[in-house]
């Protein structure tokens, strides 16, 4: 395992590896990054690795021969990561070591938003009008040609970081400047200065969860998404399965399948493809060649019994994943996130009794006294509530009602 996110997948993947009958070696350039994220009084699950090795995971050319030397000693069966910034590295490593995995160039293109746009446009897969430029003059000219309002995106960040709606040139200039002031990502990797402009799409956004193996893409289901925090695009909640008509579900699935085929992600990958159901038809937003974040994999598991973290391990090992559905007793499951609207200190956040409320599956809330940052991406949540509905698509309404109770007691000073 080469690096990891420090959120839920850093716990789900180690568990899935262990339950598959394997152990893992963990490669990281900064072990303290994970030690800092461990809950107080507990060891981080990544430290359950058989071996923890420090290596420069940001230097792929140096990492490949190091991985080859380690492979000669440990005899790896697969290579894996949950962190977007290292997905291309792991794909190259798997290919270099002769291990199962998706095509490295397909993962590379999916992890670069500008490359994804060009590949999909070339294949005729519907998406927004877009332009990619590094210089301000070129960007301003392209914005005028596409027309405001627009969405500004970095081409190589994730979690909604620096993704903004802009309605005029002054807002575009501010977004451009903010990106220019963030030249290195959280993992110490230098960013490309290219900026992606896209037309603002109307309609609801969903994600299609898939597993590709044996040269075929298998759809597990469609998840809905709620977004807030304008002009940012912060994910405030999800429900699985999405409450869509059969035709909208089919349109989302077929669009995602077309995108995955165009990129070449048809083997050895669990993917999370975001699609807008616009008034003009479905449009691809992003293709992520890894399991969904924000606990979506757990929503899927609660409703279908399908474990996408386990599927991710299986395809990394070249095995057929278990995608059989079981009767879990739930028809829908939803999660809602507590998003801070201002910066300060968390003075009060009362979730007493939430865990015992009917239908609740998970509750995680921040501790009092901590510093809070007004949310600008999906990285600043104060917690979440997850609930299920055994009768139908009522899980989202249940979560929203519970979150409203929590918000009424939220105090930031």
Question: What is the reported pLDDT for 40?
Answer: 59
**CA gyration radius for the chain?**
21
d(CA 34, CA 3): 9
| Domains, the chain, ordered by start | 8-99 (3.40.50.20), 129-199 (3.30.1490.20), 202-328 (3.30.470.20), 332-412 (3.30.470.20)
Q: Give the full edge-to-edge strand order of the sheet including 234-240.
A: 281-288, 269-278, 205-213, 216-228, 234-240, 332-337, 383-389, 360-365
d(CA 380, CA 343): 10
Which residues partner with 225 through β-bridges? 205, 238
Question: What is the reported pLDDT for 44?
Answer: 80
Q: Is 228 left (phi over 0), alpha (psi -120 to 50) or beta?
A: beta
Question: What is the reported pLDDT for 178?
Answer: 96
Regions of the chain with pLDDT less than 70 = 38-42
pTM of the model: 0.95
189 touches 206 (CB < 8 A): no
Question: What is the reported pLDDT for 355?
Answer: 87
């Amino acid at each position: 395992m080469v690096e990891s996110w420090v959120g839920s997948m850093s716990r789900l993947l180690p568990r899935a590896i262990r339950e598959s009958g394997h152990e893992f070696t963990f490669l990281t350039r900064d072990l303290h990054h994970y030690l800092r994220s461990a809950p107080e009084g507990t060891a981080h699950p990544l430290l359950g690795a058989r071996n923890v090795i420090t290596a420069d995971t940001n230097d792929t050319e140096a990492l490949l021969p190091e991985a080859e030397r380690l492979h000669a000693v440990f005899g790896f069966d697969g290579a894996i990561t949950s962190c977007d910034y290292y997905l291309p590295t792991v794909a190259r490593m798997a290919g270099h070591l002769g291990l199962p995995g998706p095509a490295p160039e397909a993962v590379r293109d999916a992890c670069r938003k500008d490359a994804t746009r060009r590949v999909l446009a070339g294949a005729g897969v519907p998406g927004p009008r877009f332009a990619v430029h590094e210089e301000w003059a070129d960007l301003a000219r392209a914005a005028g040609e596409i027309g405001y309002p627009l969405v500004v995106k970095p081409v190589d960040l994730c979690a909604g970081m620096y993704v903004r709606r802009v309605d005029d040139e002054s807002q575009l200039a501010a977004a451009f400047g903010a990106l220019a002031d963030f030249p290195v990502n959280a993992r110490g990797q230098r960013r490309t200065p290219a900026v992606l402009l896209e037309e603002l799409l109307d309609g609801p956004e969903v994600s299609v969860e898939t597993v590709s193996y044996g040269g075929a893409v298998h759809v597990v289901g469609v998840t809905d998404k709620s977004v807030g925090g304008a002009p940012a695009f912060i994910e405030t909640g999800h429900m699985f399965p999405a409450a869509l008509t059969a035709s909208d579900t089919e349109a989302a699935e077929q669009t995602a399948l077309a995108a995955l085929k165009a990129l070449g992600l048809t083997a050895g990958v669990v993917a999370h493809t975001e699609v807008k159901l616009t008034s003009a038809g479905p449009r691809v937003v992003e293709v992520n060649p890894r399991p969904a974040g924000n606990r979506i994999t757990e929503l899927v598991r609660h409703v279908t019994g399908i474990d996408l973290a386990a599927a991710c391990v299986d395809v990394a090992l070249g095995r057929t994943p278990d995608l059989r559905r079981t009767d879990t007793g739930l028809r829908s499951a939803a999660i809602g996130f507590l998003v801070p609207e201002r910066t300060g200190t968390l003075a009060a956040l009362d979730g007493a009794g939430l865990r015992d409320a009917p239908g609740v599956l998970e509750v995680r809330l921040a501790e009092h006294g901590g510093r809070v940052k007004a949310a600008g991406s999906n990285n600043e949540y104060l917690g979440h509530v997850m609930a299920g509905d055994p009768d139908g698509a009522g899980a989202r309404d249940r979560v929203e009602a519970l979150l409203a109770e929590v918000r009424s007691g939220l105090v930031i000073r």
